[in-house]
Amino acid sequence: SSSSTAASSCQRLRHHLLPSEEPLALNRRLARLFTSQDGSDGGDTQKPFIAFVLGGPGSGKGTQCTKIASDFGFAHLSAGDLLRHEIASGSEKGELILDIIKEGRIVPSEITVELIRKAMETKNAKRVLIDGFPRCEENRIAFEKIVGTEPDIVIFFDCPEDEMVKRLLGRNQGRVDDNIETIKKRLKVFESLNLPVVDYYSSRGKVHKINATGTADEIFEAVRRLFSSLRL
């Protein structure tokens, strides 16, 4: 499949690159660029590097993932965004998801994992951040079963509750779950269902805990140090 991908990439790129060059020679040069021997042409031939990004609601997962994605070449998959996209599509499944999100509860794992699996397949990236997942043991086990792999690392943003509440109430993205009643429920769900997942990965030596207080830039300094030290 990689040669047809390379060929279509060539078609598209030919118009932008060296228009004077003889098309066949240029095609060959571009094909080499897109099909290197070590499998660096995407996740086609190799399992991607997977980082789960966890932390309470409002701890700054999304904010930090955006920065990691742009500085370290990761695809950013937010479980919450995938679920909200499904709601926006107007599907029947979306109605169920909306009811659950309004209550701060956790969407059935098969729905979320299937959305993540599809997004991973579409992006076909070498490095993937999975933001806000797994939220509970059931999420974790379903991912292992359906995607068939474990994360390489787990980032855990550690933030005090009062700071998380303050950030969520100021988020202003029109989210149905950023109100104080739902926030209280989300914090309970985080403590009872998500922290055990963090403990599980801690016992397997995969967790990198990052202090999530301070400015976004200060936190990213610690994040940058961590990602710079990884063998990606």
Q: Provide the binding-site residues for ligand CDP, judged by CB under 6 A.
A: 57-58, 61-62, 79-80, 83, 100-101, 104-107, 112, 132-133, 135, 139, 177, 186
Q: Report the residue number, 20 or 173, with the smaller CB distance to Mg ion.
A: 173
State the nearest-atom distance from the C-beta of 134 to Mg ion, in Å.
Answer: 14
> Alpha-carbon distance 172 to 200, whole Å?
33
163-182 footprint of ligand ADP as x/- string (CB under 6 A): ----x--xx-----------
Name the one range near ligand ADP by CB under 6 A: 6-14, 60-68, 107-115, 188-196.
Answer: 60-68
State the nearest-atom distance from the C-beta of 78 to Mg ion, in Å.
Answer: 6
Q: Report the residue number, 89 or 215, with the smaller CB distance to ligand ADP.
A: 215
Give the residues across from 156 on adjacent strands. Answer: 54, 209
Please spell the DSSP secondary structure of 105-174, one letter per residue.
----HHHHHHHHHHHHHHH--SEEEEET---SHHHHHHHHHHT----SEEEEEE--HHHHHHHHHT--S-
Applying CB under 5 A, which residues contact Mg ion?
61-62
Tokens of 174: 């029109």
Tokens of 124: 């076909």
Burial of 32 (0-12, 13-18, 19+ CB in 10 A): exposed
Do 157 and 60 meet the contact criterion of CB atoms below 8 Å apart? yes
Q: Report the residue number, 27 or 63, with the smaller CB distance to ligand ADP.
A: 63
Is there a binding annotation on residue 105?
yes
Is there a binding annotation on residue 225?
no
State the nearest-atom distance from the C-beta of 52 to ligand CDP, in Å.
Answer: 10
Token match 């021997």: residue? Answer: 37
State the nearest-atom distance from the C-beta of 180 to ligand CDP, in Å.
Answer: 14
Tokens of 214: 């301070």
Is there a binding annotation on residue 94?
no
> Alpha-carbon distance 40 to 60, whole Å?
31
Which residues of this chain interact with ligand ADP, rule CB under 6 A? 55, 57-63, 167, 170-171, 215-216, 219
- Residue numbers in the known binding site are 58-63, 84, 105-107, 132-135, 139, 171, 175, 186, 214
- Residue numbers in the known binding site for CMP are 139
